[in-house]
Amino acid sequence: MTEKDFRCGTVALLGVPNVGKSTLMNHLIGAKVAIVTPKPQTTRHRILGIYTDDSRQIIFVDTPGIHKGSKQLNKNMVRVAYAAAEEADVLAIMQDASKPLDRPTKMLIERFADGRLKQPRIHVLNKVDRADKARLLPRLQQLQQLDPGAMAYVPVSARKGIQTDSLLNELTRHLPVQPPLHDPDWFTDQSQRQLAAEYVREQVFLSMHQEIPFQTAVDIERFEEHGDVIEIDAVILVGSERHKPMLIGKGGEGMKSVGTKARKGLEEILGCRVRLNLWAKVDADWFNHPGKLMDLGLGAEQ
C-alpha cells in the first residue's frame, strides 16, 4: 500500500431513531464515543468516530435520528442530520431489518434516492441477527426497487459484528484517494468535557422512563484535571418540577446510581480516576430556547 492508494473520507450514518447508528459506529472504531440507549433521540448532535488502518481512514459521522417534532431541539437535530449528509463523501442509510419497513424509513430512503445528493449511497440493514431470515431476501428486493441507484445493500449486525468487515470494505471502495485527515491515534473529535456530559446523560436515559429522558440535558459546569484525577461538576437539567424528585430518587439513590455508573464509564474511556458531582436543576422549556440550546452544544449549527 502506497500513499497514492490510501483512501480517506467521511461517511454519514443516517436513519430514523433507534436503527443502531451509534452501536455500529462504536463497534467499527472499537471505542464507545457515542452513547447508546433504547430510547428514541438518544443522539442529539453530530459525533465523529474515526477508523484508521494502514490503507484507509473512515470518518464516521453519527447523526441524530431523522424524525418529526415540533420543539426547537427536534428541528435542530434533523437539520444537523441533513447537513451531515450534504457534507459527507458517502451516505450509509441504515434501517432495522428486524422490523417491517415502516413509512418513515421508506420516505427517508425515497428522499435520498431522488438524486438531489450525488454522493454514493450504501444501504445498511442492521439487526439481521434478530430478523426473520425468510423475509430478508424480499426486504432486499424491496429496497432495490426503492433505490435502484444505490451502490450496495449490506445486511449487518452491529451488536454481534456480523458482516461489519464487509461493510467497511464496501464503504472504502467509494472514498476519495487522499492522505488521512486526522492523526491515526484519534478515534473521535469530542472533547473530554463533551464525553462527560454524554456519559451522564446516557445513565439518565437508562434510568428514567416515558417522557422524562427527552426533557433532560447535562451541563458541565466544571472540568478540572488534578494530577491523575479529573474533577467534574455536572448539572442535570429537567423540564419540570415533578421530574426533579423522580430523577433524584428516594434518599438520593437515583442520582447516586446515575453518578456511579457514569463515573465508571468515564474512568474507563479517560484512563484515570474521576470525581463526579451531580446536581439536578429545573429549567422549563430549555429544549425550545435557542440560546440555551447553543450553550449546551445543541444548536442547529453544530
pLDDT digit string, tens, across residues 57-73: 999 998 876 766 667 76
Sequence spans of domains, the chain = 3-173, 192-295
pLDDT in tens, 159-183: 999 999 999 999 999 999 999 999 9
In eight-state DSSP terms, residue 227 is T
Intrachain domains 3-173 and 192-295 with the same fold: no
Q: pTM for the whole thing? A: 0.82
Q: Are 213 and 234 in contact (CB under 8 A)?
A: no
**Sheet containing strand 47-52, strands side by side:** 47-52, 56-62, 7-14, 90-96, 121-126, 152-155
> Beta strand pairing status for 56-62 and 90-96?
unpaired
Q: Which of 77, 92, 89 lies closest to 17, judged by CA?
A: 77
pLDDT band at 190 (very low <50, low <70, confident <90, very high): confident
The dihedral over CA atoms of 31, 93, 86, 144, expressed in degrees to the nearest 10, equals: 150
pLDDT digits (tens, 9 = 90+) for 112-164: 999 889 999 999 999 999 999 899 999 999 999 999 999 999 999 999 999 99
- For residues 137 and 135, what is the distance between their CA atoms, to the nearest angstrom? 6
Is 206 exposed, middle or buried (CB count within 10 Å of its CB: 0-12, 13-18, 19+)? middle
The gap from C-alpha 114 to its chain's centroid, in whole angstroms, comes to 25
Fold of 3-173: Rossmann fold (3.40.50)
- What residues form DSSP beta bridges with 2? none
Average pLDDT of span 40-52: 76
Beta strand residue intervals within 227-262, DSSP E:
229-238
Q: Is 174 helix (H, G, I), strand (E, B) or coil?
A: coil
Buried b (16+ CB within 10 A) or exposed e, 43-58: bbbbbbbbbbeeebbb
Instruction: Kindly report the backbone phi and psi dihedral angles of residue 219, in degrees, each rounded to the nearest multiple of 5, phi listed first.
Output: -115, 115
> Thinking of the domain 192-295, which architecture would CATH place it in?
2-Layer Sandwich (3.30)
